[in-house]
Structure 1
Amino acid sequence: MLKKYKYLDKRIIKTKRLLKNSFIQLLQEEKLEDISITSIVERSGISRVTFYNHYNNKENLLNEIIDDVKMDFVNAFKESYQTYNNFSIKDVKTTSLRVFDHVYHNAAFYKAIVHSDLLTFFSSQLTLAVKELGETDFRVLDSKVNHDLFTSYIAYAIPGLIIE
């Protein structure tokens, strides 16, 4: 989840990882509105001042977590077709879909989201990201298939499968 931070100080990476993991754990146990900054810092072993050095509030932390997961998801999704010059859906094999590895490695986050009141928000974010990929990264070669409908189908199917 923290690949985009590879040039940051390792202490910052470690601190953010602790805060994010603590927040995800708390989200599995409590509703978002019941999670306090105090409970996040106590769970992570990080001081309150350090929390505020990195985040303005818990919503800012949550948004960064969602952005990280979404970016990782998009990269995993793209990986299955980046090597093709002319991509066709027939070329994709289930074993090449790194999306399933992504979900497995982020299982704690997905479990927390699925069982929280954030599911609708996150699902729409993921759907939008896949739709954008469909518009920019691939085209349906079969002229009988409506590209926009196909993109929408994929965009709604993948989050639905993850939720299930």
Structure 2
Amino acid sequence: MTLQKNYYKSPIGWIELASENGALTAIVLTELADDYEPAPTETTSEHPVLVAAARQLDEYFAGERREFDLPLAEARTAFRADVLRRVRQVPFGETRSYRDIAVACGNSHAVRAVGGANGSNRLMIVVPCHRIVGADGSLTGYAGGLWRKEWLLRHEAQVTAGGQHA
């Protein structure tokens, strides 16, 4: 099957959505300018996975969705799959440290490996790598930029508290 791609405009900038073989392969924050206008070929895919991803992202940003229900492409190694599965288990509005994830994976010494697996996540927001923080609670590394990580965590905190994120 052919790779399908769309661009989605979110409150934190443009997001590239991609799917292949009926599964979501990427939700990647981009550095496209806010006034960017994708070419028709970049936004016309009506692939059901991409349509569902855009709808669920709309619901997430509106504060109406806390979990995603999308077919996701599997990670390439068993360890990365385990890390990303555990990252998906971090509840909406909460955070865990890289060490917490390493311990959950059965190896408290694998903190750097967890960081590498989390950093390789190409399904941002849906696999909520923004919820993983340093041992002291500090915001560390985020491929989409720390300001976006902070925005997403603040958004989830406000939704959890019963408000909407502006």
* TM superposition score normalised by structure 1: 0.26
Specify which structure has the higher proportion of strand: 2
Specify which structure has the higher proportion of helix: 1
Greater gyration radius: 1
Q: Which has the higher contact order (CA 8 A, sep 6+)?
A: 1
